[in-house]
């Protein structure tokens, strides 16, 4: 990329290229933590003001192909009514992002459960993380807006809950507290929490990511015992290294010990310990 195309994007990048650092002396910037496709999208945005996200991957086996052919004769799938109602309150956490809408390109809406949007979500999130690291506000706003716009129209098939879980996991692993992308994802997950908790990987996510779990366990109060004789489904997880939070007290966990699942009821004296300590 041309030097001028980089330095105009942010003061941080200008300092990196022209500030007397190693990169400026060698006239070379090496971003080892950025994958090739993310860098290419970054370059596309730097020169054009927009970028094309990754296309959804179609996951089909023989039985799904037959079902898919029949489904094409039917109208496009729509969101479950409860989810559509909940998402009516899902607003962009930053009003300044709205200026991105008129100049942005988006993926089409997903209409079948075989459409894997993991790569779509991550293509936006990785650019957001890059932009946040180098304080590129315009790209940070654009990529966050595209995450919001894609989630807003995303059909929440049970098979595709893992796509959302993967996005949340990546965002919380690569951003800091009070980050706006985190806030966006917390709001979205709060809207769909009853559906999300039935999906693949959600229980592990709330165990692995305390920063995400704390605000989002509140709507899950239906899984807490409401009386001494109340039976609730256990939380099944393989996240043995997850720290037990105060929110977990009273929950029944099934913790994988490498061979099978060991059931444990969380008590106050377990708070602060690792889940794996109680599933030898």
CA distance 243 to 238: 13
- How many C-beta atoms lie closer than 10 Å to residue 186's C-beta? 19
The b-or-e profile of 128-152 (16+ CB within 10 A means b, else e) is bbbbbebebeebbbbbbbbbbbbbe
For 278, residues 6+ apart whose C-beta sits below 8 A from its C-beta are 255, 262, 264, 270
* Rounded average pLDDT over 134-141: 93
Mean pLDDT of the chain: 78
pLDDT of residue 204: 80
Distance CA 122, CA 37 (A): 11
* Stated pTM of the model: 0.73
Question: Looking at residue 63, what is its pLDDT?
Answer: 53
Q: Given this model, what pLDDT does residue 73 score?
A: 44
Give the pLDDT of residue 80.
Answer: 47
pLDDT of residue 91: 67
**Structure tokens that stand for 41 in this block:** 């999208």
- What is the percentage of the chain residues whose pLDDT exceeds 70? 72
Q: Does 169 have pLDDT greater than 90? A: yes
CB of 182 closer than 8 Å to CB of 214: no
Distance CA 73, CA 26 (A): 59
At 53-105, the pLDDT tens digits run: 999 999 876 555 555 445 444 444 445 444 544 555 566 665 655 556 555 56
Q: Would you say 172 and 211 are in contact if contact means Cβ atoms under 8 Å apart?
A: yes
Give the pLDDT score at 74: 44
Q: Judging by DSSP bridges, how do beta strands 252-256 and 57-58 pair with one another? A: unpaired
* Alpha carbon separation from 263 to 204, 210, 228, 257, 279 (Å, rounded): 15, 21, 18, 10, 8
What pLDDT, on the 0 to 100 scale, is given for residue 222?
38
Mean pLDDT (whole number) for 149-156: 89
Which residues are bridge partners to 235 per DSSP? 253
Q: What is the pLDDT of residues 6-48, one digit of tens each?
A: 777 888 888 877 776 676 667 677 788 899 999 999 999 999 9
Q: What is the mean pLDDT of residues 192-213?
A: 78
Residues in the chain: 280
Which of the four pLDDT bands, split at 50, 70 and 90, describes residue 226? low
- For helices 137-152 and 36-48, the axis angle rounded to 10 degrees is 110
Residue 277 has pLDDT above 50, yes or no: yes
């Amino acid at each position: 990329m041309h030097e001028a195309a980089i330095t105009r994007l942010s003061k941080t990048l200008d300092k990196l290229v022209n500030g007397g650092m190693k990169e400026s002396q060698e006239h070379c910037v090496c971003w080892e933590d950025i994958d090739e496709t993310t860098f290419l999208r970054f370059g596309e945005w730097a020169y054009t003001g927009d970028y094309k996200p990754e296309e959804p991957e179609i996951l089909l086996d023989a039985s799904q192909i037959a079902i898919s052919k029949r489904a094409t004769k039917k109208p496009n799938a729509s969101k479950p009514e409860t989810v559509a109602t909940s998402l009516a309150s899902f607003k962009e956490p930053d009003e300044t992002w709205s200026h991105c809408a008129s100049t942005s390109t988006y993926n089409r809406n997903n209409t079948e459960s075989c459409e894997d949007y993991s790569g779509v979500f991550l293509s936006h999130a990785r650019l957001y993380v890059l932009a946040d690291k180098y304080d590129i506000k315009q790209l940070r706003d654009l990529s966050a807006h595209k995450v919001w716009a894609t989630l807003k129209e995303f059909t929440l098939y049970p098979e595709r809950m893992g796509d959302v879980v993967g996005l949340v996991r990546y965002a919380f692993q690569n951003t800091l507290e009070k980050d706006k992308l985190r806030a966006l994802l917390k709001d979205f997950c709060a809207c769909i929490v009853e559906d999300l908790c039935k999906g693949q990987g959600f229980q592990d996510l709330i165990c692995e990511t305390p920063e995400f779990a704390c605000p989002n366990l509140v709507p899950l109060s239906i899984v807490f015992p409401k009386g001494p004789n109340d039976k609730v489904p256990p939380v099944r997880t393989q996240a043995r290294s997850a720290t037990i939070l105060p929110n977990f007290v009273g929950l029944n966990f099934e913790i994988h010990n490498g061979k099978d699942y060991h059931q444990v009821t969380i008590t106050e004296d377990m708070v602060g310990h690792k889940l794996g300590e109680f599933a030898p």
